[in-house]
């Protein structure tokens, strides 16, 4: 259950701009919610269907690409999921001594662990075709062969063995958060522990990055200061600047990384660093992330702590390349997509864009000789941000939307009908902005 002390105030302030400069950019997205109770894990298959472990329902829930839902009761509280090389879905259970398997035909089977008191926690499909899992309370790592044989390996002593993933180096990696330790393990059972440097934080989630490193969420003792870090195959550790409530992370197909948690959504964009996005849809603790074959981000969000049940989010992010058209401007090498729209009492429409330079252009609404809004997006790397500027020669209701096609973040600026369009000088519109040795922003 989420337990975060926060105060919220809503101010009704008349303004010439009805949507301006939120604390973080929104996400250019198609956001969908799916019903859940208390989801604890999620996976997406090659067909685009999401599989959800929901301990509140004591079931594995399948959400088909068309949105239809089917539940598979499992007779216990499932925790985490992993698809095996055998095509079956494996899951851990809150009850000790068991791990479950859901077949492609919907059959549910349970496998007894050698130690009845073992509490299986996290699991992953190993590079050897076996399923590997952690026993959180016994400091062990287990292996399940396709034939159903279970072997156990002792982990370094500690109080909690947490997340386990398969690295791109062909090894298994698992976390021991309370010991501030991450371990590398071969498929033959040899374990190499790596103590994290002082101040990095507790490793509460792991993910294999496309860069060959294992990324993790480092939980800080200071509330709201969780951040991303990575460990190389040789044990080198680097932290990424940033903060938030991130609890889970997962790579995306573009070589980036998603991180989410209570009121937190962040993306590590390739060669761009950390981008903070609007995380208001994440109203509870995030217990699982997955990325579908179409690149959509899925999230298992727990109850909010005030009576609302958990939910499953699907976020289709707009990071498609900008294509310039009669109604779209592509600025700064095509990184930024800019569109404008207007509305009146009896009609509405899209602005017609005309590019003036690499970073600027204008829109007209009713007559090509009647300029309405001028827009420019500049690489103001002195403060680490791209700047969005606009000026209007109109008092109609108008909206300008700027989308960063690299990160998927979006800024929307709207003018009320009957009001002069005020100047927009947003010097913190998009981040990060980095300057090359030649002085060119990128």
Q: Is the pLDDT of residue 212 over 50?
A: yes
Question: So what's the pLDDT on residue 433?
Answer: 73
Q: How many CB atoms lie within 10 A of CB 160?
A: 15
439: pLDDT confidence band, cut at 50, 70 and 90? very low
319: pLDDT confidence band, cut at 50, 70 and 90? low
How large is the average pLDDT for residues 11-39? Answer: 58
How large is the average pLDDT for residues 54-73? Answer: 95
Residue with the larger pLDDT of the pair 347 and 372: 372
Q: Domains along the chain?
A: 17-317 (2.130.10.10), 329-430 (no CATH)
Q: Is the pLDDT of residue 160 over 80?
A: yes
- Residues whose CB falls within 8 Å of the CB of residue 236, separated by 6 or more in sequence, listed in order: none
Residue with the larger pLDDT of the pair 211 and 56: 56
Q: What's the pTM value of the predicted model, to 2 decimals?
A: 0.74
Q: Is the pLDDT of residue 12 over 70?
A: no
How large is the average pLDDT for residues 425-434? Answer: 80
Cis peptide leading into 90, omega within 30 of 0? no
Q: Is the pLDDT of residue 184 over 90?
A: yes
Structure tokens at 244: 């938030």
How large is the average pLDDT for residues 305-318? Answer: 86
How large is the average pLDDT for residues 67-73? Answer: 95
Question: So what's the pLDDT on residue 252?
Answer: 82
Question: So what's the pLDDT on residue 222?
Answer: 79
Residue 48: C-alpha distances to residues 64, 290, 374, 407 (Å) = 7, 11, 41, 23
Residue with the larger pLDDT of the pair 232 and 22: 232
Q: Pick the range with the lowest mean pLDDT from 59-73, 176-190, 308-322.
A: 308-322
Among the listed residues 46, 144, 49, the one whose alpha carbon sits nearest the alpha carbon of residue 87: 46
Q: Is the pLDDT of residue 318 over 70?
A: no
How large is the average pLDDT for residues 141-167? Answer: 94
Among the listed residues 426, 108, 434, 153, the one whose alpha carbon sits nearest the alpha carbon of residue 269: 434
Report the range out of 85-89, 240-244, 316-320, 335-339 with the highest average pLDDT. 335-339
Burial class (CB in 10 A: 0-12, 13-18, 19+), 376: buried
306: pLDDT confidence band, cut at 50, 70 and 90? confident
Torsion of CA 147, 175, 55, 220, to 10 degrees: -170
Question: So what's the pLDDT on residue 17?
Answer: 34
Question: So what's the pLDDT on residue 22?
Answer: 37
Q: Is 334 left (phi over 0), alpha (psi -120 to 50) or beta?
A: left
């Amino acid at each position: 259950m989420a337990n975060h002390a926060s105060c919220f105030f809503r101010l009704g302030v008349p303004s010439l701009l009805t949507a301006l400069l939120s604390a973080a950019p929104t996400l250019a997205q198609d956001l969908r919610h799916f019903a859940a109770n208390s989801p604890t894990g999620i996976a997406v298959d090659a067909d685009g269907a999401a599989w959800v472990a929901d301990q509140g329902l004591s079931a594995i829930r399948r959400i088909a690409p068309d949105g239809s839902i089917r539940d598979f009761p499992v007779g216990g509280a499932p925790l985490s999921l992993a698809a095996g090389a055998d095509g079956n879905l494996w899951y851990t259970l809150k009850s000790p001594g068991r791990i479950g398997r859901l077949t492609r035909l919907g059959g549910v089977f349970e496998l007894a662990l050698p130690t009845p008191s073992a509490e299986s926690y996290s699991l992953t499909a190993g590079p050897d075709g076996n399923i590997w899992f952690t026993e959180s309370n016994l400091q062990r790592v287990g292996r399940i062969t396709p034939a159903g044989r279970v072997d156990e390996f002792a982990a370094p002593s500690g109080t909690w063995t947490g997340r386990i993933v398969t690295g791109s180096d062909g090894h298994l990696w698992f976390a021991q958060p309370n010991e501030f330790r991450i371990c590398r393990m071969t498929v033959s059972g040899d374990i190499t522990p790596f103590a994290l440097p002082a101040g990095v934080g507790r490793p509460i989630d792991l993910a294999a990055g496309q860069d060959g490193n294992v990324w993790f969420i480092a939980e800080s003792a200071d509330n709201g200061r969780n951040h991303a870090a990575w460990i190389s195959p040789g044990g080198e550790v680097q932290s990424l600047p940033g903060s938030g409530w991130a609890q889970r992370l997962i790579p995306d197909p573009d070589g980036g990384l998603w991180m989410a948690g209570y009121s937190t959504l962040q993306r590590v964009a390739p060669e761009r660093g950390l981008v903070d996005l609007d995380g208001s849809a994440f109203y509870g603790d995030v217990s699982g992330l997955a990325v579908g074959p179409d690149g959509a981000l899925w999230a298992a969000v727990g109850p909010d702590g005030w009576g609302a049940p958990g939910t499953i989010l699907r976020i289709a992010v707009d990071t498609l390349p900008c294509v310039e058209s009669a109604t779209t401007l592509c600025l700064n090498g095509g990184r930024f997509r800019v569109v404008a729209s207007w509305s009146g009492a009896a009609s509405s429409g899209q602005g017609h864009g005309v590019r003036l330079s690499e970073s600027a252009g204008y829109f007209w609404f009713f007559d090509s000789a009647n300029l309405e809004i001028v827009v420019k997006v500049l690489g103001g790397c002195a403060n680490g941000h791209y700047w969005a500027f606009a000026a209007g020669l109109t008092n109609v209701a108008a909206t300008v939307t700027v989308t960063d096609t690299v990160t998927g973040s979006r800024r929307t600026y709207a003018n009320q009908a009957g009001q002069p369009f005020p100047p927009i000088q947003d010097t913190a519109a998009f981040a990060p902005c980095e300057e090359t040795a030649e002085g060119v922003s990128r």
